Structure 1
Amino acid sequence: MAGIDLKNVTKIYGNAVVAVDDVSLEIKDGEFMIFLGPSGCGKSTTLRMIGGLESISKGDLLIDGRRMNDVDPAQRDIAIVFQNYALYPHMTVAGNLGFGLKLRGVDRGEIDRRIRAISEMLDIGPLLERKPAQLSGGQRQRVALGRALVREPKAFLLDEPLSNLDAKLRAAMRTELIKLHQKVGTTIIHVTHDQIEAMTMGQRICIMKDGRIVQVGAPLDVYRNPVNTFVAGFLASPPMNLVPGRLDGQIGLDAVTGLAALPIPEALRPGYASHAEKSVTVGLRPEDFHLLPLAGRSAPVSVTAVAIELLGPEVILVAELGGTGGPEIQARMPRDFLARPGETLTLHYDLTQIHLFDPATGNVLVRPRIA
């Protein structure tokens, strides 16, 4: 296993295009780290620099404390699984699994032992004599993972390995990767743009934007305490509702957006008081709207239904906050919820979960953390 340390790492293409900008990150030995962000944010480039497939323009990469900037990829003892699987089409599954070991001069008996162990772990034993063209997408993905596992490397780098799978298989493979990490305990860095993968798989999430790290933390901590509107609007589906408003301090302290006024809980007022009478961006999670009041911690708010999305386990209500003409928001409702477009409803918002952001910078307004 390996600890991986990025120190002020930068990648510049053609002396002009900065793909990764001064990234510093410590990945612990045995950790499951997620790189999350939209296309073009630098997450795959960062992964490729760790693997040695991209050169580092500035900064240092350390693996187990050793500087690796100029070390050949084959000498880093890191296995990479790509989005397109990259299996050799003319080889059988067994041939694909053992090819890298054969090149390294590993004894034939040891190669066979590792192939048997990995094929049993990934349930691909019956496929060993097939070629990639005879496999489904999920089977190819298992073989690609097996080819990485059979090397017993210090770390695994996974570059969006589930993106080509259908929704059901993607969910199953998420579980398999979690179980795999629990078994082998090896450092894993997983690149994805999928928020569900990030929330369910990683021990920590590193969120990137425009080549820079925006926030790093445990999934629930990042979810509950986003540092800015980018994180708040990117993590989770549906994401946090971000609506324009202001802090009204004439009587108490209210977050006012359109015709809706949400009283700031007393525990949060000290953190927000200095922003009274200023514009803010109000952050409201969809799951914090309720049909019934919550004792001592919610406020009623009128909404006008625009549409509903029936998802089976839940219903997503799209509505105008504060009534017709108000900013559009999404709210998670129970599975049996129904509303007609144009219907006026009263929802109850959990005030303890309100977030306020500076509309100029997008940064969160710091507040005490409450349950």
Structure 2
Amino acid sequence: MEIGTVVAQVVLENIYKSFSGRQGEPVAPVAAEPWLTPLGNSGTTATKDKAKRSHATSVLRAINLTIADGEFMVLVGPSGCGKSTLLRLIAGLEELTGGNIYVGDRLVNELPPKERDIAMVFQNYALYPHMTVYENLAFGLRRTKVGSQQSAVSGQRSAVSSQRSAVSSQQSAALTQNSTLKTQNSLTSHLSPHSSLPIWAENLLIETTRKLPKGLRFRSERERSIDQQVRSVAQILQIEPLLNRLPKQLSGGQKQRVALGRAMARNPQVFLMDEPLSNLDAKLRAETRSQIVKLQRQLGTTTIYVTHDQTEAMTMGDRIAVMNAGQIQQIASPLELYNRPANRFVAEFIGSPPMNFLAVQFKAPLLLTHPQFRLTLPEVWADVLKPYDGQTLTLGIRPEHFNISAAAPKNLPVQVELVEALGSETYLALSLVDASVETALLQARIEPDRPVRIGEQLWLSHTPDKIHLFDHEGWAITPKSLT
């Protein structure tokens, strides 16, 4: 069996989703942050008016996203931002309020989940506890009556729907004609492919003889094809020794690989993964994360992966869509998000520890002032900052871009409040010295061999070409040379 040869792009077009509230329950207010303006089209007036009139909670608004063939797209955001709801809409487990979803060349809005050619991996594995690993992998194949038929037509799944229907009709006609010549009775329409037995009789024989020695088990052509698919997937995932075990005999990482295998066995056009690593410990999470990335590259299957962990997002995705309050804030590659965040939310969410923010006053042409320091910006900022003369801006500095330095007007005077020594690096929580207004603690990452004591006063310098500036609405200000 050839796995992962069939891929499809996924297009989300102006997606809206609302959940009905209880009678008398007011409509939930839209988040007030100005940077929550959605990317892409703003949506149809009819959809918006309908949402306003109803007693409903809007969880997704104006989602526009295209996932390319074979791409690994990560949806990341805080809990409650709508990322899992969006995944369930793609899978067909939730009903759209507005918009369109395309998988390949098909509009799938009205299609049930089983007809979307999508496989989903859930957070809680969803394995049948009374079935062995082998039976869990084979269950979906038997339910959909695939086996040898799937491998025969999988190479044609990217053809248009009319071609697929024609092939299906030809196969059905040939099967009916062959069965009529053989039996000429009322069981004809229920015959299994490659067998003169009805499917119900075939399944009965399979179940009855399943626990017998291999040589005595009933094996139809369909079952042999399913067995080939299951063992091929087990070999790829290195779970062949586990095939006869029950789920209760597996570790968390092994269960997750079985769940992935069950999705792979169906050879879908699209994988959907909803926080599949959140139940694993840190070491196992890192191992499984690399296995999923390697597997996806090997198969080349279009994958949409949901997580709230920005480390997973940065290390796994070809591109990342950052979500907040039901809207996409930015879509970019991992390093693009890190180096050029579109707004303050993305800047704070991507990176660990998060970016530090300080309110500063801008004075043309290049001066930033703060009660504790003064900073002259590089020349590349001159043109883009002209409209902001005299305004208050937000200065953003990542913890890794601070350095312990000597006292100077451009450096920040701070006091150490907390030291977190991790061996490979040390994190400091710092407060500004003599701050007239109470501000959040600053975070700095320093080299591990630098001794620091709680209560010690330090001066922090920073890398001038690594700073970020945001306007009063939270949008990033970026020099043209850096865009």
Task: Give me the TM-score of the superposition, normalised by structure 1.
Answer: 0.94
Q: Select which of 204, 223, 230 maps to 2:345.
A: 230
Distance 1:230 1:209 in 2: 8
Q: Confirm or deny that 1:45 pairs with 2:85.
A: yes
The corresponding residue for 1:115 is 230
The corresponding residue for 2:476 is 364
Distance 1:83 1:256 in 2: 48
Q: CA deviation at 1:299?
A: 5.3
One-letter code aligned to 2:361 = R
Q: Confirm or deny that 1:303 pairs with 2:343.
A: no
Superposed CA RMSD in Å reads 1.7
Contact 2:366–2:381 under 8 Å retained in 1: no
One-letter code aligned to 2:474 = G
Q: Confirm or deny that 1:216 pairs with 2:331.
A: yes
One-letter code aligned to 1:11 = K
Distance 2:69 2:19 in 1: 30
Contact 2:404–2:458 under 8 Å retained in 1: no
Higher Cα Rg, which structure: 2
Q: How does 1:121-200 map to 2 (within 5 A)?
A: 121-200=236-315
One-letter code aligned to 2:238 = D
How far does the alpha carbon of each residue in 1:162-201 deviate from its partner, in whole angstroms, 9 at most, with x for none? 0010000000011001100110000000000000000000
Q: For 2:244, what is the secondary structure of its paired residue? A: coil
The corresponding residue for 1:56 is 96
Q: Select which of 29, 32, 40 maps to 2:69.
A: 29
Q: For 1:339, what is the secondary structure of its paired residue? A: coil
Q: CA deviation at 1:346?
A: 2.4
Compare the two structures and name the one with the higher strand fraction: 1
Q: Confirm or deny that 1:286 pairs with 2:408.
A: no
Distance 2:470 2:384 in 1: 12
Q: CA deviation at 1:81?
A: 0.2
The corresponding residue for 2:41 is none
One-letter code aligned to 1:276 = D
Distance 2:274 2:104 in 1: 22
Contact 1:304–1:324 under 8 Å retained in 2: no
Distance 2:121 2:398 in 1: 35
The corresponding residue for 2:202 is none
Contact 2:373–2:410 under 8 Å retained in 1: no
Q: CA deviation at 1:101?
A: 0.4
Distance 2:481 2:83 in 1: 30
Q: For 1:164, what is the secondary structure of its paired residue? A: coil
How far does the alpha carbon of each residue in 1:138-184 deviate from its partner, in whole angstroms, 9 at most, with x for none? 11111000100111100100000000100000000110011001100
Compare the two structures and name the one with the higher helix fraction: 2
Contact 1:319–1:330 under 8 Å retained in 2: yes
Q: Confirm or deny that 1:18 pairs with 2:129.
A: no
Change in 2 beyond 3 A, CA 1:320/1:260? farther
Q: For 1:18, what is the secondary structure of its paired residue? A: strand
Q: Confirm or deny that 1:253 pairs with 2:366.
A: yes
Contact 2:372–2:412 under 8 Å retained in 1: no
What stretches of structure 1 of length at least 5 have no aligned partner? none
Q: Confirm or deny that 1:203 pairs with 2:315.
A: no
Q: Confirm or deny that 1:85 pairs with 2:115.
A: no
The corresponding residue for 1:346 is 459
Distance 2:447 2:418 in 1: 15
- Bigger Cα displacement from structure 2, 105-114 vs 151-160: 105-114
Q: CA deviation at 1:324?
A: 4.0
Q: Which has the higher contact order (CA 8 A, sep 6+)?
A: 2
What stretches of structure 2 of length at least 5 have no aligned partner? 1-6, 21-53, 148-221
Distance 2:242 2:336 in 1: 41
Q: Select which of 418, 423, 426 maps to 1:315.
A: 426
Distance 1:254 1:286 in 2: 22
One-letter code aligned to 2:275 = E
Task: Give me the TM-score of the superposition, normalised by structure 2.
Answer: 0.73
Contact 2:358–2:394 under 8 Å retained in 1: yes
Distance 1:285 1:270 in 2: 24
